[in-house]
Chain A
């Protein structure tokens, strides 16, 4: 238990530090690298929560596929240093305001709530195994799963059509 807690605290510190690093870094490539570190840490969180399939999928899809394309585009466009000028001057006060609201809500929920929070669902052992996830996806959540795949197919065809050069 204590070992798990210690691991969690270290990972949480890394996750928060990498998220901050991504936001504050003035270099697009370093931001992308911080984001990869963040995704990796989140994958380890899933592993601690006994969900190996989601953890590995997180690494494969986010850290392995999407971020490679991000890096590729950053390098291809030569988008190195960001200019120090503020592009959106109203963004910072709005962000601080929204963050304050979120913090107030969290404080209210943790310290001043009157009713009990709904209890966590009891989980069966092996709930995060690939077999269990697959059975859920193809039985209980069949329709949303198929709708998502059609949505992705439409997006893919759209991207191909939009980037295709017409030959005369």
Chain B
């Protein structure tokens, strides 16, 4: 029994890691294809049919690139930084439920690694809050003024937007009366999506904006603004170490899409999912694809905003708006129960 449970966890963790790293490769292709379509180009179409082998070709290229470490860099932290950037991105989705409990080989298997963890929402916040270290340390250890500035910008930006991100979880916690993400999804099924949204009118918008800032994507990609900082915190990185930063960014995109889908778009819910539990992961996958498309669309459409604007938007608009959102939900919960 104990061994079976242990094996089950190892297998599920392996599946999650495989999906995340494999997903990273294909999100890069997805982004390049969508960007190309938006800019009336064709996009990668030479490696394999429809360019489907392009990520593999990119990976092989990066493995064979020369790796440079700047002479005056802090070598230990320089090597450590890409690793601690990828780690939070890989583990943050451990609390996201993929579906209802399924019976596989005569065993009750909950879909997800720890979907019913009673501090699930807080766990997401905790991991998000430590994910800033990798970028900050990478910038500092490179011993390069552009990289250091990029790292400083990243830490200031991520601290600022974390507040709004954390507060956008609070209405869901109040409505579900639990911090387990499984309970959040089940409450959405019980209340219906429309009512769930009416109780927290600003929630989804605040979460989506703050999460784009949290993963340092356009239009909030100040830490790596090319015009002013060459490439920001990863200026000095090359080869596989650069690939790890790249990987962290795309895995974080998938992770925040999964969390957004779970908190605001019904997670694994969909037609017939109560009778056929294996449809859950498929619905979740579909929602993640749609949210990723939104992120890529934003990158293709919006120019990067100025740094002071970014900070004042975070502190003067987004933070008060998320406090108002919490207030509205609290009042509605008190009045209507």
Size of A's binding interface in residues, CB under 8 A: 21
Is the CB–CB distance between A129 and B133 below 8 Å?
Answer: no
B contacts with A: majority SS: helix
User: Which of chain B's residues have a CB closer than 8 A to the CB of A59?
Assistant: 126, 129-130
With A65-B159, A130-B179 already in contact, the answer to whether A56 and B126 are too (CB < 8 A) is yes
What sequence of 0s and 1s flags, for each residue 27-51 of chain A, a beta carbon within 8 Å of any chain B beta carbon? 0010001001000000000000000
**Docked complex Cα distance between A33 and B123 (Å):** 21
A131 to B118: give the CA distance in the assembly, Å. 9
> Is B119 a contact partner of A75 (Cβ separation < 8 A)?
no
- Residues of chain A within 8 A of B156, CB atoms compared: 72
Contact B129 A76 (CB under 8 A): no
Whether A75 and B148, one on each chain, are in contact in the complex, defined by CB atoms closer than 8 angstroms, is yes
User: B-facing mask of A74-116, CB < 8 A → 1, else 0?
Assistant: 0110000000000000000000000000000000000000000
Query: Is residue B263 within 8 Å, beta carbon to beta carbon, of the partner chain?
Result: no
Q: Which are the 6 A-B pairs with shortest beta-carbon distances? A: A64-B129, A59-B126, A60-B126, A56-B122, A52-B119, A56-B119
Q: Which residues of A contact B155 (CB under 8 A)?
A: 68, 71-72
| Interface of A toward B, CB cutoff 8 Å | 29, 33, 36, 52-53, 56-57, 59-60, 63-65, 68-69, 71-72, 75-76, 129-131
Q: Give how many B residues have a beta carbon under 8 Å from the other chain's beta carbons.
A: 25
Complexed CA–CA distance, A62 and B228 (Å): 33
Known A52-B118, A63-B130; judge A72-B136 contact (CB<8 A).
yes
Within 8 A of A (CB), among B131-167: 132-133, 136-137, 139-140, 148, 151-152, 155-156, 159, 162
Q: Nearest CB to that of B179 among chain A residues? A: A130
Dominant secondary structure of chain A at its interface with chain B:
helix
Contacts A52-B118, A72-B155, A130-B119; A64 near B136 (Cβ below 8 A):
no
Q: Are A64 and B126 neighbours in the complex by a CB distance under 8 Å?
A: yes
* Bound form: Cα–Cα A110–B133 in Å: 41
16 A–B contacts, CB within 8 A, in A order: A29-B140, A33-B77, A52-B118, A53-B122, A56-B119, A59-B126, A59-B130, A63-B129, A63-B130, A65-B129, A71-B133, A71-B137, A72-B155, A72-B159, A75-B139, A130-B119
Instruction: Given A71-B136, A130-B119, check contact A60 B159 (CB 8 Å).
Output: no
When chains A and B are docked, how far (Å) is the Cα of A63 from the Cα of B129? Answer: 8
Complexed CA–CA distance, A44 and B179 (Å): 20
In the complex, given contacts A64-B128, A71-B137, A129-B118, what are 13 additional A-B residue pairs having Cβ atoms less than 8 angstroms apart?
A33-B77, A59-B130, A60-B125, A63-B129, A68-B132, A68-B136, A68-B155, A69-B159, A71-B133, A72-B152, A75-B140, A75-B151, A130-B179
